[in-house]
Structure 1
């Protein structure tokens, strides 16, 4: 069978996805398989039961595709993601049947093949992401953040990230901030926190990370703060991790402890019930992972959300594998990472990633 040939549900039940994942050189072989839910023969009840069991127990990413509107719910739950047809733009806002297990696109076959290619380019990151999202579903937030960081540190030592760094080439250290990278002001019972490195599009570098964590600490220690508002100056809320700092960590165990004990994710989750995040422009990587912890996320109409980490051989590492699934489910989170392209405010609203769109 060609690596690009989808398998049917009956073939899935017969073990088509069960061959060894790793080849003789310990490289992942066919990390993502496409399951054509419309392909004959029609599965029997026994086929469906076995397909569900094998999908849940397997090692590979399994992406379903279909043009139908009625699905077997157990199979949808067992697959990592299912692409369904909708007659709008390829990243349309409304998903068929409203299921959080599905993503609606104009051409499910073409999108499934694109996702397969993405996983083939960075198999380590794609497979680690699958494992992580499944593990985290039943973990409390603090433990889920620890698991994300451990996985992220693992991938920092992986060949996918090393190849990305080599292709990128050496980068100079980012210029020092001209002032405080985060502005903090109190207005009665409201604490306003503003990312303020517009010249870097509020990139989430070490200084901004530390300043943001310190600002959120105020609300943790002061119960008189009834609301925390997080926003950003300049053309974008945040362009995500500062790429000029990527690859600088040499002590990956230390980097794990910094992410989990000095980062903003745990603190933002702790104040999440009081937190409103106001997004605009590009919200990339950490620029959506962190605000997704807020109980209320407001997006300007020009908001564009993207998770580009897979192309670097990584996964979201600022809390996104924890915050996003708790808003939109693990399957749509998986889609955003595998696809890597931006979604607009309309789709983010339809999924529940943002709560309101306001000028």
Structure 2
């Protein structure tokens, strides 16, 4: 049964994507851009249980506009619905994660139209952030503006040593979007987040790691392999319990009483499923659990 039917995770329905390549190879590298020059997003399955979705406009450093969101969405929904997918890696083709929003589509807009456009984009933001399956961002090159927001919608962020992270929205006369005003303070605290958001300066991988913006820094040529390693580790865990834990972390209220009530309800659901039985049996038998 799809996890979205077992736990109330919101998902958005958008237009289906055109045909796309599906591969299952041993290489840690994402598919080459020339393999599907017309597709704005690529899907491959580098190993069992792990699906990788790549933004595919490397010549433009992978901007994230409405057309790209509409290309990624059906791939993402397919991954969420497929029980064989246990973890998702999000990356960009050609050595750049995402250089930001598609400025070519921007310009002065009437407030009502701008709000409608933002609301449409919010469906995509929620889809990624509320994913019941663990998501690893493999950040090479740049994660700037909306690209930074895209990375922080993921559960784990792996960054290349030479990559850059920045939130320069003010240079365009805009406020940070793509959920950054929510995700960044939750990751690093309001004080450091305010400094990054207000100054809009670029930071390197070491500073990003020290601040807690990213979770792991590796040499540039090891980003994809490291992201797969993280995804492989996450894919070993019981999917239902992980989905519930992710949702509780993301929606945990301020009141301890409310948090404990949500915790009790969620744990009761986990105890009613088969994963606990398998986990306890594996512990007693001193073996790795085989969650399904």
- TM-score when scaled to structure 2? 0.58
Q: 1:253 aligns with which of 95, 107, 115?
A: 115
List alignment gaps of at least 5 residues for structure 2.
1-9, 11-35, 220-292
**1:95 aligned partner:** none
- Give 1:212's aligned residue: 72
1:224 counterpart (78, 81, 84): 84
Match of 1:181 among 19, 31, 40: 40
Q: CA deviation at 1:248?
A: 6.6
Question: Cα distance, 1:331 vs. partner?
Answer: 2.2
The CA deviation string for residues 125-152 of structure 1, in whole angstroms up to 9 with x for no partner, is: xxxxxxxxxxxxxxxxx9xxxxxxxxxx
Query: Could you tell me how far apart the structure 2 residues matched to 1:314 and 1:182 are?
Result: 26
* TM-superposed deviation, 1:313: 2.0
Higher helix share: 2
Gap runs ≥5 in structure 1: 1-141, 143-176
Q: In the alignment, which residue of structure 2 is the partner of 1:194? A: 54
Q: Per-residue deviation at 1:272? A: 6.4
Pick which of 202-211 and 249-258 moved more. Answer: 249-258
In structure 2, what is the equivalent of residue 267 of structure 1? 127
TM-score of the superposed pair, with normalisation by structure 1 = 0.48
Aligned to 2:161: 301
1:271-286 equivalence runs, <5 A: 271=131, 274-286=134-146
Number of residue pairs matched by the alignment? 182
Distance 1:305 1:224 in 2: 33
Alpha-carbon separation, structure 2, partners of 1:347 and 1:355:
11
| C-alpha displacement of 1:353 | 1.0
* Deviation at residue 192 of structure 1 after TM alignment: 0.6
- SS for the counterpart of 1:324 is helix
Structure 2 residue 198 is matched with structure 1 residue 335: no
Residue equivalent to 2:63: 203
Partner Cα separation in structure 1 for residue 191 and residue 133 of structure 2: 25
